[in-house]
Amino acid sequence: MNLVILETLFSVVKLQITEEIPSWAGKGEFFSITRTNEELSIVCPTSIVPVSNLKDVEHDWKCIKVEGVLDFSLTGILSSLANPLAENNISIFAISTFNTDYLLIKVHSIEKAKSVLENAGHTFI
């Protein structure tokens, strides 16, 4: 499987369910906004996150993208990435879209993650 590491540094922000989606949340080359009955979760470039009073925020994430469009009939894509990483104690934050999958990995683990995934047969382009 072909993978690419996006250049941007990302943050994961948790807001209260009652909060509106902030205007800054929908900017950048890649962002994800998810609302559940428990939280409002935002993944976006760190450069756009305000330095205000956000209390639930995790910085220093890099993003690995699965290249190409994945057909819905394909199985095991995410597990082929997540399992080798888990076996090497590398935590992930996974996001799937209509087209493909993304894995957020902490900056301090990105080189190890790349090596682990290459050893598992994946290719970085």
Residue with tokens 């939280």: 39
Which run of H or E residues covers position 79?
helix 77-87
Model confidence at 45: pLDDT above 70: yes
SS3 state at 80: helix
Q: What are phi and psi of 107, to 5 degrees?
A: -50, -40
Q: What domains are there in the chain, each with its CATH number?
A: 2-124 (3.30.2130.10)
Residues in the chain, overall count: 125
Mean pLDDT on 87-94:
98
**CA-to-CA distance for 28 and 50, rounded, in angstroms?**
14
Q: Give the SS3 label for residue 112.
A: helix
Q: Can you tell me the mean pLDDT for 34-49?
A: 96
What is the mean pLDDT of the segment spanning 19-33?
Answer: 93
Mode of pairing for the β-strands spanning 123-124 and 2-5: parallel
Question: What is residue 75's predicted lDDT score, i.e. its pLDDT?
Answer: 61
Res 72: pLDDT: 63
Question: What is the CB-side half-sphere exposure of residue 65 using CA atoms within 13 A?
Answer: 15
